[in-house]
Structure 1
Amino acid sequence: MRNLSRRTFVAGAGATVGAATAGGLLAPAAGAVAGSAAEDAGPASRAVRNGDLITVTAENPRYIDLISGFNPRWEARPKGVRLPRTTAQVVQAVQDAADRRQRLTVRGGGHCYEDFVYNPEVEVVVDMNLMDAVGYDPGRRAFEVEAGATLLKVYQTLYEGWGVTVPGGVCYAVGVGGHVQGGGYGNLSRKHGLVVDHLYAIEVVTLDADGRARAVVATREPGDPHRDLWWAHTGGGGGNFGVVTRYWFRSPDATGSNPSDLLPKPPAEVLIAIPSWSWENITQRGFTSMVRHYGAWFEQNSAPDSVYNGLTSWLFLNHKVSGSLVLLLQVNGDVPQAEQRANDFVQGLSDALGVPHQGEVVRLPWLKAVKYIGTMDATQTNPQLRAGHKSAYMRRGFPENQIAAIWKHLTRTDYANPRGGVAVISFGGRINSVAPGATALPQRDAIFKLLYQTYWTAPADDAPNTAWLQDFYREVYGDTGGVPVSNRVTDGCYINYADRDLSDPQQNTSNVPWSTLYYKDNYPRLQRIKQQYDPKDFFRHRQSIRLPRGTR
C-alpha cells in the first residue's frame, strides 16, 4: 500500500516468439534435460501441457514490457524472457540457463522493491505470469496456487469458490510467488496470522550439485525429507533456493476434507475508515502526542487473543506538502460494537493530535472492500512512478527521539515531494502466537511494521529522493547505527521490503549485517538449506542467502 491522500481514496500455446535459432543462446543445449515435475499433485499440474516454452527476445515487440518490474528504476536487457505454462517448462528453462552458465532470475508479480530480478547482469528472466491457476487439490486436502497468480485472483477464487481466504497483502497486483516466500501479511493477519502460517507445501525447481534441474515437492509434515526446504520458504525470501512453481495452503489446525473448513473464513463485512487530518493545523506537540497515542494503543492491544485482533490500521505519516496525514482502518464487521470500536479508534487519534478529522466509517462486503482498498490509490497503480523503500519492525511505540526525527524530515522545506513519508502498519495479534523459529520469518513479537517510501517520475530526480529517504531513515535509527537493530524497541527489517542500503557500510554503521536484520537467528539454518538445495549458488541476487563459508 502506498502513500494515500483523501482524493486517491499471451500468446497462444505452442508459440515460441523471437527465440534464438538452433545453437543460439536460448536454444536447448546439447544434452539439456527438459525434465518433468516430481509428481502430478493436483489440478494445476493437469493443465494443458502441449506446446513449446515461450521465449521472447529483443526482436519481439513484447520484450520491452517484460524487462522491468513495477518500479521502472529496475530494468534488465536479458537475452530472453521465458514464460512457462507448466512445471516441466520451468525445469527446462532452469536447465537451459544452467547448461550455458547464464544468470537467471525469476519474476512473479514484478513488485520487488530492489533490483533483485532486473539488473544489468541478468541474462535470462523466467516470468511466471502464465502459471496462475488456483484450485483445490483433494489429494493433499489443500488449495493449490500457481506462483504466477496475483493476490486478487487468489482472494477472489478462494472466496467465491469456497468462502475462504489466506491473510495476504492489500496490493492487488502483487504476485503470490514472491509475497509468500517473504512471509506475507495483510489486513486479516492480526486475526489469522501470516500467509506462511497456512502454507502446507511448495513445489520448487532446484539445481543440484551435478547441475541437474528438478522439481521438488516439500511439505510441513514432520517426516518429509524435504521439510527444511518448505521451512525456508516461510519467510526466507525469493530468489534464494530455486523457482517456486506452486503452493498448497491448509491451516495447521484444519481437519476433515471439506474445503470450506481448511482455511480462514473472512468476515462477511468489514468497516472501512479513511480519515485525514489537515497538515495546516498540525503542531509538533500534537504530532508527537498522536504518534505516541498510536503506539500506546497497539502496545496494549496486540496480544494474540486481543478482542481487537480484527482491527488493522495503516497510519500514513505523509510529508507536509501532501496536505494531510491519513489513516486506513479496517475492522471486522461481524463483531459486536464494530462501529463503536472504529469510531473510538479514530477519535482517539484526533483527540491526541488536537485536530478534527475528515471522513466517515463505511460498511462494505469483504471482497468488495478488498478490491476497493487494492485499487483506490493512484500511486500504487501507476507504472510510471519510480520509488524507494525501507522497512523496520517495532516491538514498542516510538521513542521521543524517533518521533522528533520523523517530524523533522516530514516538515523539511528543502524537500517537497507529497509522495514521501512513512506508513506505520499494525502487526501483532495472531502473528505473534507463532514461535520465532517455527517459520523462517523470526519477528514474532512486533506491534508495527514500518514502510518508509517515496515516489517520483523523472530519472533526474533519483538522487534527491533517495538521499532524502536515506537521511530520514538513518536519523530515525541514529542511536543504533542508522538501522533498526533488534533491541527492546526495534526488531530488524522485512525482506519483502528489500533495501540494498542495509548492505552498505556507509548507510549501515551498526556492525549488524543485513542478513541478521532480516532473519536474526534463523539465518544459519537458511544457509545450511541453501547449501543442500542450491550448492552452486545458481539462484542469487545482491541480498540472497549466502552459502556457508568454505563451501564455494
Structure 2
Amino acid sequence: MINIEALQSTFRGRLIQPDNYDYDEVRQVWNGYIDKHPALIAQCSGTADVIDAVKFARKNDIEVSVRGGGHNVAGSALCDDGMVIDLSQMRGIHVDPSQKLARVQGGATWGDLDRETQIFGLAAPGGVVFTTGVAGLTLGGGLGWLRKKHGLSCDNLHSIEMVTADGKLLTASQTENQDLFWALRGGGGNFGIVTSFVFHLHNVGPTVMMCAIMYPIEIAENVLSTWRDFMISSPDEISSQALFWAVPDIDAFPEEARGKHVIVISAMYAGDPDEGEKAFQELREIDTPVLDLSGKIPYTTANSMFDPFFPKHERYYYFKSQDLASLNKETRSALIEGAKNRPVPSMLLAIWHYGREMNRIASKDTAFGSRDTTFLLSVDSIWDDPADSEKVISWSRAFLDKMKRFSRDGMYVNFSGFGEEGDDLVQKAYGDNYNRLAKIKGKYDPDNFFHLNQNIKPLSSLLK
C-alpha cells in the first residue's frame, strides 16, 4: 500500500486503493485482456490534481501510468503496483462556434466531443468508435472518417496544455514551446500528461452519406482491386477502409447473412450527402452484395456504428499494424489467403486508405511518421474466449511477419500490439523523426518518468 496521507491533504478527486469497494471496477480498461493491479488510482478532478499527483509520485519514487479515456489496446494506461494518474473524470468540453475551436479535457471521449460540436454542425477529426479517448488517439496521430478531407486528429490541434515530469504546466502551440507542440502531434504520451486540447473544427454534418457494403469473400480479389483504384483517384471528401470480417450471429443482421465471411467496404463522404450517394454508386455495384447498409445517417451515428462490436472489458483485443508498400495483386492475394484462415471469425483484417490532406503535410512537419503511406494494414484481433488468447495472438504476429515482404518499416503507433518489439518498433514507427523526438524527450522528460507507453528514450539516456 502507498501512504497517501501527504497527497490526500490537497487532492480534490478520489484516491482509490485495492481495499476500496469499487477498485476492481475502476481499474478496468477497454481491453478485457488487460488485468493489472495498481497500488493507487488517482482520479483527478482537474489540472491541479494532476500536478499534485505527478509531484507526489516523483517524491516517493512511484512508477506512473496515465489514463485518459482508457481505450488503448496495449493496456499501458494501467500498471502493476504503481500509480495510475487517471483523467477519466475530466471530460469537460467548451465549443466556440464563432472561432470554430473546441477546448477538450484530457479524459474526454470522441463521443463526448462529437455530441457537443454537432450542436453547431461542427466536428474535429476523430476516430471511428465513440468510446475512444481523445487524448490517446490524438497523441498517436488520430485516424478517422475525416482524414482525407481534414487530416489526422493531431493535424487539427490549435494548442495543448500539458503537465511535465517535474510538475509544471506548459502550453504548447505554434507560438509557445513549438518543439513540444511538434512532438505531441503523433509522438504519443512520452512527454507529459495533456490536461486539455484545443482543436480546430470544421463544418461536418449533421447528416453524412456512409457506404457500408458487404461482398462475399469469394470475390474479394475483384472487390479489393476495384476499391484500391477507386480510392487512389477519389476526392478528398471520401475516407475509407476495406475489412475482412464475418457477419455476427446477432439480431442486428438478417438471418441469411449471419456467419458469412465477407469483405466490407466502409466509407464516409465528408460533404453534401446527395453528392456522396452518387460518388459511392460504383462501390455499391461491384457485384451482388451479401448486405448493403449504406445510407444517409447522422454524423454521430456514423461515428458510433462500430461501437457494439468493441464493448468495454467484455472482449479481448490485440491490434497491430504496418504500412503496406502497395496493394498490388501479390499483396492482395496474401491478404485474402490470410483472411480465409483467421483462427476466429470475430477477427478483422483492415486496410486503411491514407491520402490527400494527411499526405499534404510533410513528414518533418509533425511527429507522425507515415505521411507518404497510401495503405495501412491493421490486424484487429478480437475474441471472446480467454482459451483462444495464445492462438489468436500467435496467429496475428505470424501473419504480420508473412506480410513484411509487402510492407514498409512504418506503422500506426496506436495499433502496436503490446509494444513487444520495444525500441525497434518505436524507431521504425517514427523513422527519420525519431532522433528529433528523442532530443525533445531529453529536454522535457530526461529521466523517462513517463515510460509506460510506446516509449521514446530520452537522448540523454541514449548517450550513456
- CA 1:33/1:96 → structure 2, altered by over 3 Å: closer, same or farther? farther
Counterparts of 2:320 and 2:133, CA distance in 1: 20
CA distance in 2, matches of 1:344, 1:517: 37
Corresponding position of 2:107: 148
Aligned to 1:243: 193
Structure 1 match to 2:317: 387
* C-alpha contact 1:145 1:246 (8 A) present in aligned 2: yes
Q: Distance in 2 between matches of 1:139 and 1:538?
A: 39
- For residues 517 and 327 of structure 1, the distance between their equivalents in structure 2, rounded to whole angstroms, comes to 29
**Counterpart code for 1:334:** D
Quote the Cα distance in structure 1 between the aligned partners of 2:178 and 2:193.
17
- The letter for the 1-side match of 2:412 is Y
Larger Rg: 1
Aligned match of 2:212: 274
- Number of the residue aligned with 1:70: 30
User: Is residue 450 of structure 1 aligned with residue 377 of structure 2?
Assistant: yes
Choose the corresponding residue for 2:61, options 98, 101, 104: 101
- The structure with the largest strand share of the pair is 2
In structure 1, what residue type is equivalent to 2:379? Answer: Y
Task: Give runs of aligned pairs for residues 148-547 of structure 1, distance below 5 A.
Answer: 148-160=107-119, 162-208=120-166, 213-221=167-175, 224=176, 226-238=177-189, 240-250=190-200, 263-279=201-217, 282=218, 286-301=219-234, 308-318=235-245, 322-332=260-270, 334=272, 337-348=275-286, 350=287, 355-371=288-304, 373-375=305-307, 378-381=308-311, 383-394=313-324, 396=326, 398-412=327-341, 416-477=343-404, 479=405, 484-486=407-409, 492-500=410-418, 503=421, 513-541=424-452, 543-547=454-458
Secondary structure at the aligned position of 2:452 is classed as coil
- Give the aligned partner of residue 12 of structure 2: 52
- Greater shift in the superposed pair: 103-112 or 68-77: 68-77
Q: Distance in 1 between matches of 2:246 and 2:306?
A: 22
Aligned residues: 452
Say which SS state the counterpart of residue 364 (structure 2) adopts: coil
The answer on whether the counterparts of 1:395 and 1:445 sit within 8 Å (CA) in structure 2 is no
Task: Give the Cα separation in 1 of the matches to 2:239 and 2:52.
Answer: 43
Question: CA offsets per residue over residues 186-245 of structure 1, 9 Å max, x none?
Answer: 11121111111121111111124xxxx211111122xx2x1111111100012x111110
The structure-2 alpha-carbon separation of the partners of 1:436 and 1:27, relative to structure 1 and needing over 3 Å to count, comes to same
Change over 3 Å in CA distance of 1:541–1:312 after alignment to 2: same
SS in 2 for 1:503: coil
Alpha-carbon offset, residue 64 of structure 1: 0.5
Tell me by how many angstroms 1:184 deviates: 1.1
The CA distance in 2 between the partners of 1:165 and 1:27, in whole Å, is: 43
Identity across aligned pairs (percent)? 25
Q: Shift in Å at residue 335 of structure 1? A: 6.2
Instruction: Kindly indicate whether residue 59 of structure 2 is the aligned counterpart of residue 130 of structure 1.
Output: no
SS in 2 for 1:275: strand
- How far did 1:268 drift? 3.9
In structure 2, relative to structure 1, the CA distance for the partners of 1:328 and 1:423 (3 Å cut) is same
- Could you tell me how far apart the structure 1 residues matched to 2:462 and 2:358 are? 36
Deviations 1:158-188 (A, max 9, x none): 221x332101111101111111111112111
Task: Report SS of the residue matched to 2:188.
Answer: coil
Shift of 1:428: 1.1
CA shift, 1:297, in A, is 2.4
Distance 1:107 1:227, change over 3 A: same
- Describe the shift of the 1:290–1:534 C-alpha distance in structure 2 as closer, same or farther (beyond 3 A): same
Give 1:153 deviation, angstroms. 0.8
Q: Contact 1:25/1:79 (CA < 8 Å) preserved in 2?
A: no
TM-score by length of 1: 0.76
CA–CA distance in 2 between the matches of 1:532 and 1:33? 31
Report the Cα distance in structure 2 between the residues aligned to 1:215 and 1:167, rounded to whole angstroms: 26
**CA distance in 2 between partners of 1:137 and 1:289 (Å):** 46
Amino acid at match of 1:312: S
Query: Structure 1's 369 and 300: CA in aligned 2 closer, same or farther, altered over 3 A?
Result: closer
1:107 aligned partner, one-letter code: R
The answer to whether the 8 Å contact 1:112/1:498 transfers is: no
Specify every segment of 5 or more residues in structure 1 that has no aligned partner in the other structure, as ranges. 1-19, 35-50, 251-262, 302-307, 487-491, 505-511
Query: What is the Cα deviation at residue 63 of structure 1?
Result: 0.7
Task: Please give the secondary structure, in 1, of the residue aligned with 2:291.
Answer: coil
Evaluate the alpha carbon distance shift between residue 543 and residue 406 of structure 1 in structure 2; reply closer, same or farther with a 3 A threshold: same
Shift of 1:520: 1.1
Distance, in Å, in 1 between the alignment partners of 2:30 and 2:118 is 27
> Where in structure 2 are there 5+ consecutive unaligned residues?
248-258
Q: CA deviation at 1:66?
A: 2.1
Q: Which amino acid aligns with 1:391?
A: S
Per the alignment, in what secondary structure is the counterpart of residue 414 of structure 2? helix
Partner of 1:43: none
Shift of 1:25: 2.4
Query: In the TM superposition, what is the alpha-carbon distance from 1:140 to its structure 2 partner?
Result: 9.5
2:144 maps to amino acid = G
Give the 3 Å change call, closer, same or farther, for CA 318–148 of structure 1 in structure 2. same
The 3-state SS of whatever aligns with 1:89 is: helix
Residues 113 and 388, structure 1, Cα contact 8 Å, conserved in 2: yes
Alignment partner, residue 47 of structure 2: 87
Q: 1:370 to 1:318 in 2, by over 3 A?
A: closer
Q: Secondary structure at the match of 2:203?
A: coil
Report if aligned partners of 1:170, 1:370 keep a CA contact under 8 Å in 2: yes
The normalised TM-score by structure 2 is: 0.90
Per-residue CA distance 1:33-88 (angstroms, 9 max, x = gap): 97xxxxxxxxxxxxxxxx72310111112110122311121122111101111111
C-alpha distance in structure 2 between counterparts of 1:315 and 1:141, whole Å:
32
Partner-residue secondary structure (3-state), 2:51: helix
CA distance in 1, matches of 2:101, 2:210: 31
